[in-house]
């Protein structure tokens, strides 16, 4: 019976690269009966059948690619060659993975025998209990045969389910192929339509090119006619240009004479203005000299007047001082007279 992949604990000395290579992307165990998709994503046989049954489609769970899954025989042989230990802790058996199922069968049979003997209270070393042990062995063999039959039935059921899933996948692929044919037909129609449009565009482009060629020829004819007309008008244009050149030269000569006259006038005006400026400066200088002379005279007069005033002030001060002195002398004399009169009156009184 197919089941989930092997556990990592069973294997000896598996590197990380080998683990990544041998692991199933659904159950995350070591692969059992490995199958792969188109993009080489690997799964256990049981895991991928269960996935396709539940998901109701045959797409890969990793890359979503539709299609059948191919059995990877080389990888299965490499996994079967790896050394494995027994699942039972007390057992020290080691060997390749291909021999694990036979070893487990013998181990489980011996274990079931021992458990049965101990449950019945029998001793295996004694010869008296041989008949009972044979009966127990027969019952165990019957149980094992029943189990094997049940396993075969389950295998048949799983095979039938797998066939149903396989048929569904084939039908889905057939429908997809039909859809692809319809898409091809539509594509062919579109391709024809595009080709027809391309032909129409080519015809239009050719028509446009022919029109352009005709227009170019007409333009050439027009250019030729214009060249002839230009040659005719060249003589007249030359005459006109010569006349215009003469007129322009005459005008330039007149302008030169006018400019020379203007320059002469401006020079004369400049000379006159310079003479006027010189006269004005002369008058200014004379006026300034006269003004300075007047100022000097006035200063002298004012100085003389100030000197006279100072003399008069000094004289008046002297007179005042003299008058004050005379007044003081008179006051002293008056005081002395009064004092004498008082003394005389006092003496007379005292005398009396």
pLDDT of 235 above 80? no
**Comparison of pLDDT for 203 and 113, the residue scoring more:** 203
Instruction: Give the mean model confidence (pLDDT) for residues 113-127.
Output: 47
pTM over 0.75: no
Task: Report the distance separating Cα 289 and Cα 301, nearest Å.
Answer: 19
Give the integer Cα–Cα distance in Å for 27 and 8: 12
Strand stretches in 112-256, DSSP E: none
Residue 39 has pLDDT above 50, yes or no: yes
CA distances to 236, 307, 316, 317, 321 from 313, in Å: 112, 10, 5, 6, 12
Residue 328 has pLDDT above 50, yes or no: yes
Comparing C-alpha atoms, which of 29, 67, 284 is closest to residue 172?
67
When the pLDDT of each residue in the chain is averaged and rounded to a whole number, the result is 77
For 46-61, write each residue's pLDDT tens digit. 888 888 877 556 678 8
Q: What would the mean pLDDT of 180-203 be, rounded to a whole number?
A: 73
Which is more confidently placed, 95 or 2? 95
Q: How far is CA 88 from CA 85, 102, 261, 345, in A?
A: 9, 14, 137, 177
| Confidence grade of residue 133 (pLDDT, cut at 50, 70, 90) | low
Q: What is the pLDDT of residues 89-101, one digit of tens each?
A: 767 778 888 887 7
Locate tokens 């045969």: which residue? 145
Residue by residue, DSSP assigns 223-289 as HHHHHHHHHHHHHHHHHHHHHHHHHHHHHHHHHHHHHHHHHHHHHHHHHHHHHHHHHHHHHHHHHHH
């Amino acid at each position: 019976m197919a089941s989930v992949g092997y556990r990592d604990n069973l294997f000896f000395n598996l590197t990380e690269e080998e683990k990544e290579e041998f692991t199933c992307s659904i159950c995350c165990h070591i692969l059992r009966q490995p199958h792969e998709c188109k993009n080489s994503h690997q799964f256990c046989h049981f895991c991928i059948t269960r996935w396709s049954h539940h998901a109701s489609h045959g797409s890969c769970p990793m890359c979503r690619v539709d299609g059948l899954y191919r059995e990877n025989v080389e990888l299965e042989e490499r996994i079967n060659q790896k050394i494995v230990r027994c699942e039972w802790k007390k057992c020290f058996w080691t060997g390749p993975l291909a021999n694990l199922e036979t070893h487990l069968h013998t181990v489980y049979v011996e274990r079931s025998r021992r458990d049965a003997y101990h449950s019945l209270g029998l001793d295996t070393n004694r010869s008296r209990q041989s008949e009972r042990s044979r009966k127990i062995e027969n019952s165990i063999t019957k149980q094992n045969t029943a189990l094997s039959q049940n396993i075969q039935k389950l295998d048949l059921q799983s095979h039938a389910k797998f066939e149903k899933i396989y048929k569904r996948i084939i039908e889905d692929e057939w429908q997809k192929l039909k859809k692809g044919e319809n898409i091809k037909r539509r594509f062919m129609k579109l391709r024809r339509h595009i080709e027809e449009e391309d032909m129409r565009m080519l015809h239009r482009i050719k028509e446009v090119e022919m029109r352009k060629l005709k227009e170019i020829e007409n333009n050439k004819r027009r250019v030729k006619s214009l060249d002839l007309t230009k040659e005719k008008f060249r003589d007249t244009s030359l005459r006109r240009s010569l006349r215009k050149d003469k007129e322009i030269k005459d005008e330039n000569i007149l302008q030169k004479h006018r400019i020379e006259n203007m320059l002469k006038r401006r020079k004369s005006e400049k000379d006159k203005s310079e003479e006027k400026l010189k006269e004005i400066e002369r008058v200014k200088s004379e006026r300034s000299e006269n003004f300075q002379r007047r100022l000097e005279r006035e200063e002298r007069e004012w100085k003389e007047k100030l000197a006279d005033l100072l003399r008069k002030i000094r004289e008046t001060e002297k007179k005042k001082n003299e008058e004050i002195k005379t007044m003081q002398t008179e006051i002293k004399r008056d005081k002395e007279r009064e004092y004498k009169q008082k003394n005389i009156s006092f003496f007379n009184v005292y005398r009396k």
